[in-house]
Structure 1
């Protein structure tokens, strides 16, 4: 594989963990249905998966960070399950505000696909949080989720940690989207700030790429596998970029290398 531009590749790649993050697929039950009038979200996800395989980026595991289904329909989750099983690598799914977490637990726990909230590999621990508030677009981490985060970090002080959730815990500079972020981000960061092994946080929901740093922790927003939202927009506005996904290399020393890919894909 050609070295990724602007990335430092680990000298010993076998000791790194290679993670794919896909998010906000908004799959529909009807395979021929369109979202936002001109986008077939199943086809756009297939285009992303094909691009991943063509680039030889399947890696060690995949994380799907919410809004898997547009209307939380069982057919959408079953279709995703078939796609993920065909990939062969471990796939971890967490819910978004369009999802039904209970239904996800029922369907997306088979073979290599899981809704388990935590995985430890090599020098890393990955934590998957549920920030869903039923029937609301904004996010909130319940006391149970915050306690789980705290306990998971306290139990493995020896492991670098990366946290995934659906809702952005920081403002992105887009007023309509920022109103739908994580409403108790202060509680979230209060826990993270106690643990120096936390290295990165990634989310979906915003349908756009974002990258900043807070107290040495990488903060990463990732694009949707369907449509993107225009960054910095005052109101809902679609961007011209195609479907996308994030590629992460978690290095053994706790450093993180990452790149976002976009896929050429016709709307129809």
Structure 2
């Protein structure tokens, strides 16, 4: 199983530079152009922050660009998830369940939540089950997986599938000793670990941090792919944050005795490594404190339905 894994495209409602002077649409085009020689790809996964402000026009552009690329490399399916910058209703209007065939049709084959609560779905390709979850907490940078989603996930995983399961969502359940990662990742990794323990999940694919990172959630490999719109540079002083130009993506290979394996691609951008924005320690601290102080109201916990039934910069 060969997967191209992208994340954090942050497309705007118009094809124009964002407030930092970065044209997110151009960054995505450049990254896809770099990946054009990849062969034998079975699926593409895009783990959230597809749009920068939840605009329908941005989701339409993502679908056209990534879907067109998927058709050109052999007609592979594309799996999309929400991120903290996304808007569920607009996501669902353009991308449906998020599980799309190369021609843009929805290919979901099993459970799906009502889109107003969570964009979570399951389908399969190449003998693997692909499950996407929704870690979006509206108005927050950090993420959380609802109890209803985790109960549904555990039920789905109770029956092993073929070669195993690929699990994808936006917020990483792992983090380095980096203040922003500690504050803005997945808030309930232990509950996720409980849900997947002993299951056939082969890998967890996430994004959000705008850099590549590998670790484990208990015994399950977790991969964080870098961002397309920009990347975070960890060479700055502790407690600060610097984003630089440069689109990135990754390739994930499953199966065989050495899997999973991961490789990162960097688009050839003449302005790569130029600073996009930089936050000093005080500004970073204030952003983290504000996130901690403003706790959201609990979201409703829907029962899953079966198909046919009813200010931080750049993260």
TM-score range, shorter chain: 0.7 to 0.9
Q: Secondary structure at the match of 2:205?
A: strand
- Is the deviation greater in 116-125 or in 205-214? 116-125
Change in Cα spacing, 1:73 to 1:266, as seen in structure 2 (3 Å) is farther
Give the structure 2 partner of residue 208 of structure 1: 211
Give the structure 1 partner of residue 6 of structure 2: 22
Give the structure 2 partner of residue 49 of structure 1: 32
Alignment of 1:18-167 (within 5 A): 18-35=2-19, 37-53=20-36, 55-57=37-39, 59-87=41-69, 88=71, 89-109=76-96, 111-112=103-104, 114=106, 116=108, 117-156=121-160, 158-167=162-171
Q: Secondary structure at the match of 1:226?
A: coil
Q: Deviations over 1:98-123 (max 9, x none)?
A: 00122111111473365952222334
User: Could you tell me how far 1:157 is from its partner in structure 2?
Assistant: 5.2
Q: Secondary structure at the match of 1:205?
A: coil
* TM-score of the aligned structures, taking structure 2 as reference length: 0.73
CA contact (8 A) 1:108 1:115 kept: no
Give the structure 1 partner of residue 187 of structure 2: 183
Q: Secondary structure at the match of 2:174?
A: coil
- Unaligned runs of 5+ residues in structure 2 are 109-120, 273-315
Change in Cα spacing, 1:60 to 1:113, as seen in structure 2 (3 Å) is farther
Give the structure 2 partner of residue 224 of structure 1: 227
Aligned length: 248
Distance in 2, Cα, partners of 1:227 & 1:39: 8
Q: Which one has the largest radius of gyration?
A: 2
Give the structure 2 partner of residue 3 of structure 1: none
Which one has more relative contact order, counting CA pairs under 8 Å at least 6 apart?
1
- Unaligned runs of 5+ residues in structure 1 are 1-16
Give the structure 1 partner of residue 299 of structure 2: none
Distance in 2, Cα, partners of 1:44 & 1:115: 28
CA contact (8 A) 2:7 2:47 kept: yes
Give the structure 2 partner of residue 250 of structure 1: 254
Q: Secondary structure at the match of 2:29?
A: helix
Distance in 1, Cα, partners of 2:240 & 2:192: 27
CA contact (8 A) 2:234 2:241 kept: no
CA contact (8 A) 1:39 1:267 kept: no
Change in Cα spacing, 1:113 to 1:61, as seen in structure 2 (3 Å) is farther
Counterpart check, 1:236 vs 2:223? no
Q: Deviations over 1:143-163 (max 9, x none)?
A: 121012101111225541221
Aligned residues: CA RMSD:
2.2
User: Could you tell me how far 1:128 is from its partner in structure 2?
Assistant: 0.8
